[in-house]
Structure 1
Amino acid sequence: MSSQQKNKQNQKQKPAQQPSNIHMEMGQTFPLTIKRLGINGEGVGYFKKQVVFVAGALPGEEVVARVTKIQPKFAEAEIKKIRKASPHRVKAPCPYFGKCGGCQLQHLDYQQQLREKRDILIQALERHTKFDVSKLDIRPTIGMDNPWDYRNKSQFQVGQQNGKLVAGLYGLNSHQLVAIDHCMVQTPATDKVAQGVKQILQDFKAEPYDERKRTGVVRNIVTRAGIETGEVQVVLVTEKNNLPRKDLIADEIMKRHPEVKSVVQNVNPGKTSMIFGDKSTKLKGKGTIDETMGGLSFELSPRAFFQLNPEQTKKLYNEVKTAAALTGKEKIADAYCGVGTIGLWLADGAKEIRGMDVIEASIEDANKNAKNHGINATYVTGTAEHWLPKWTKEGWKPDVVVVDPPRTGCDRALLDTIKKVKPKKFIYVSCNPSTLAKDLEYLAKEYKVEYMQPVDMFPQTAHVECISLLVRIK
């Protein structure tokens, strides 16, 4: 998935102005049987044929629900009482579960998480396509042996509570910062360094940024670890360039944490939910860190996209390679390529790789990575809808196109380009079942869905990744 995300439009309307078909009242309680999990991990039930989303409820449970919010086409509720618990309900081990917005499914047995994620994919296909889903080859979700300690990157918001600098995540559906001292899904390296940097900023009396008052400096602490190399990068995201004593802070970070090989300041002055701004400056050490995966090495700059779960990434990319079924003669286009990971993973079975991404820093890293491995690959800045027609006109037509877009899915212009360029195979790596389903429906007349393989990249959350192999209909 590319690091470029489309800004979501805030559609804030007063409840009184919303025409609603939901016939219930705020605070109303009623018994409810939970039928399935929603795409955000909430339980879904029906009260008098009206959809109700219940946070924390699990499929098969019978609960007493209390209405907390009424929307035009559905209601939201909380659990007042569990009358009949799911046999798959477990005690969540994390003290922040239900408080921070990071995980949604720690209270669900892991093997059942894998089954429910496949079902979330099926629901999206039923909702957004005309496919006979019962006839699709949708395979069991590929999971992890140890579904903890897997994230190689943390992005903690910085704030101040009771006069003390804290770092953590915003609560679910709120802007209330939940201070986190230990995250169970982070790798030990990122977790340790993030907590250490938090203490150093406190020691140097760095002022957290307050977005309401528009005061302060430090917005985020971002840490990324090379799991195979042991190298760690720290990015201090600030509202303005002037971070007092930033050189001393960088020195102290590397002194207390020798595993840190790169300290970078990123400036983000915008009033935005995006973590990074456009300007990054190296404060100490290297501008990048190195990581290896599957015998390939990668240079990672702060804004470059790299998958967050290395163990599952290997499985994901091997599934892409299986879907591609390369013979050594194929030309491959890698759209939303990031630092070139998928293309380089496929390179030993392909004739040539070309890729594109709108993030210039990612393309620089991708070309370095290809050159370092002596791989016949070319990466350019821009969109696939610009480059694919240009290359085709010049006589270079891809046999296989691989896409790994953001949660917003593929741009319609890209899908139209796929229809025109007509690669034999189109391999779609998706992190959002809803946008995946809509995009597959759009291509249904030109491409057949051969099979779909869900992969659990983010255990304990409701997210599910999926590889779809599409073959051109002749």
Structure 2
Amino acid sequence: MEKIQQNQKFPLTIKRIGINGEGVGYFKKQVVFVPGALPGEEVVVEAVRAHPKFTEAIVKKVRKRSPHRVKAPCPVYEQCGGCQLQHLEYAQQLKAKRDIVIQALERYTKFSVEQLEIRDTIGMEDPWKYRNKSQFQLREMKGKIVSGLYSMNSHRLISVPECIVQHPITNKVNNEVRRILEDFRIPIYNEKTKKGIVKTIVVRVGVETGQVQVVIVTTGKELPRKDMIGKEIKKRLPEVVSVMQNINPKKTSLVFGDKTQKLAGTDYIEEKMSAFSYELSARAFFQLNPEQTIKLYDEVKKAANLTGKEKIVDAYCGVGTIGLWLAEGAAEIRGMDVIGEGIKDAKKNAAKHHLNNAMYVTGKAEDILPKWEREGWHPDVIIVDPPRTGCDPEFLKTLLKIKPKTFIYVSCNPSTLAKDLQAISKQYEVRYVQPVDMFPQTSHVEVIVKFVLKV
């Protein structure tokens, strides 16, 4: 097979959208990924990186445009990289996301996708201004502080003063906090010189409550005039009820470090979804799109099909959101997570809603579940909502030993879901796969899979 050479130009027909939002085509039986190209388009591309199994290319000319191509409304869309699909009609984004799930299943499992019930993606009526949390990196440029996101595959910071997928309050608060740091002449961390103090501004809003939390992420404990900064933020931004400092000295892609301390206000903000309210501390996980989260959790509830007699485990439970959603229809809910702050919040949330049938503990599910089993407590339903890396292999081994009748997997990464699905399917039948669009304009897709124990 003739290998594609770097800088080689060639015609290509785009067949589908890839997992990172790029167009996918085939040239001389080789896979070619082309950012910005859409299914059905005929393009001339130039190879920019040739790998043994695939080639990355850029569009040089569009010979035939997709009828579903639209003009991206964001002025920095092509530089930013935070969104990947703003140039595609929203209805087609939903179809592409279902196809991304199918691609992952085809690649990582032995299933014939025709055997599986893969449902249409559940979307939003208004797919803009939905993100309740912003994490903007900071840079000092010509005496001014710039906040924004890194360009795709680089550490070049793109200034994003007004992100159109962010809730408007997060944009407003981020910009004002940036100005306050500028006014107080706080040194901004410089990756090259390794000098400076503040790395990131994180803003989270309770969409229903209007309460806002600001977290200033620093390289160490030092933050000059920290009390004055906290007071000034509260003075200029009355909606901010919590100002925190998180200390992250590590040189990693992770935003938060292990230590968080209060600068002003409360330790947490409150958010409401349907009949439930939640206390959210700085590092506690909470879904970024509350409107779609309600749809997601309602789908989990449908999948659990509760009668009131079930014992449920909410593994990787965070602040207990999924468990609370299901608690009323269950005999008992037990949850666990490795982040102790989240478990504290989960306990508070359960107590606040007078749920006497909920119990939360800190630790790994693969350690705790066998202990409960030895004590004679056996779950009927296990729900898991793991990070992007998927389930820990030890957790999957534990699941297959404990054998609940129903297992519900909520995934934010179709590739790791598909790999885990292959292992789970040894003992479980896949009832259906339900994609949910939690992040419109991006290539991310959330997926719920209902598994039932084979008889």
Q: TM-score range by the shorter chain?
A: over 0.9
Distance 2:352 2:436 in 1: 29
Given the alignment, which residue of 210, 223, 236 partners 1:243? Answer: 223
Given the alignment, which residue of 176, 180, 201 partners 1:221? Answer: 201
2:418 aligned with 1:458: no
Residue 89 of structure 1: aligned partner: 69
Matched length: 454
Given the alignment, which residue of 182, 187, 192 partners 1:212? Answer: 192
Residue 80 of structure 2: aligned partner: 100
Q: Give the structure, 1 or 2, with the largest relative contact order (CA under 8 Å, sep 6 or more).
A: 1
Residue 359 of structure 2: aligned partner: 378
SS at match of 1:98: helix
Amino acid at match of 1:469: K
Residue 418 of structure 2: aligned partner: 437
Residue 308 of structure 1: aligned partner: 288
How far off is 1:162 after superposition? Answer: 2.6
CA contact (8 A) 1:363 1:381 kept: yes
Given the alignment, which residue of 386, 411, 418 partners 1:405? Answer: 386
Amino acid at match of 1:118: R
**CA deviation profile, 1:407-437 (whole Å, cap 9, x unmatched):** 1110111111110000000000001111111
**CA deviation profile, 1:18-40 (whole Å, cap 9, x unmatched):** xxx87122211111111111100
How far off is 1:101 after superposition? Answer: 2.0
User: What does 1:134-149 correspond to in 2, within 5 Å?
Assistant: 134-149=114-129
User: What does 1:38-53 correspond to in 2, within 5 Å?
Assistant: 38-53=18-33
2:95 aligned with 1:120: no
Residue 11 of structure 2: aligned partner: 31
- Inter-CA distance 52–164: structure 2 relative to 1 (3 Å threshold): same
Residue 148 of structure 2: aligned partner: 168
Q: Which consecutive residues of structure 2, in runs of 5 or more, have no partner in the other structure?
A: none
**CA deviation profile, 1:345-391 (whole Å, cap 9, x unmatched):** 00010000000001010000001100111112111111110111110
Distance 1:213 1:75 in 2: 35
Q: Which consecutive residues of structure 1, in runs of 5 or more, have no partner in the other structure?
A: 1-20
Normalising by structure 2, report the TM-score. 0.99
CA contact (8 A) 1:34 1:43 kept: yes
SS at match of 2:80: coil
Distance 2:439 2:138 in 1: 23
Distance 1:348 1:59 in 2: 45
Distance 2:274 2:158 in 1: 36
CA contact (8 A) 2:2 2:28 kept: no
Amino acid at match of 2:371: K
Normalising by structure 1, report the TM-score. 0.95
Residue 427 of structure 1: aligned partner: 408
Distance 1:308 1:70 in 2: 36
Amino acid at match of 1:427: I
2:305 aligned with 1:344: no
Amino acid at match of 2:62: I
Distance 1:70 1:205 in 2: 46
Percent of aligned pairs with the same amino acid: 65
Distance 2:447 2:293 in 1: 12
Distance 1:160 1:76 in 2: 33
2:449 aligned with 1:468: yes
Residue 113 of structure 2: aligned partner: 133
Amino acid at match of 2:389: T
Aligned-residue CA RMSD (Å): 0.9
2:57 aligned with 1:63: no
Distance 2:382 2:296 in 1: 16
Given the alignment, which residue of 309, 317, 321 partners 2:301? Answer: 321
Residue 14 of structure 1: aligned partner: none
CA contact (8 A) 1:22 1:72 kept: no
Distance 1:54 1:298 in 2: 42
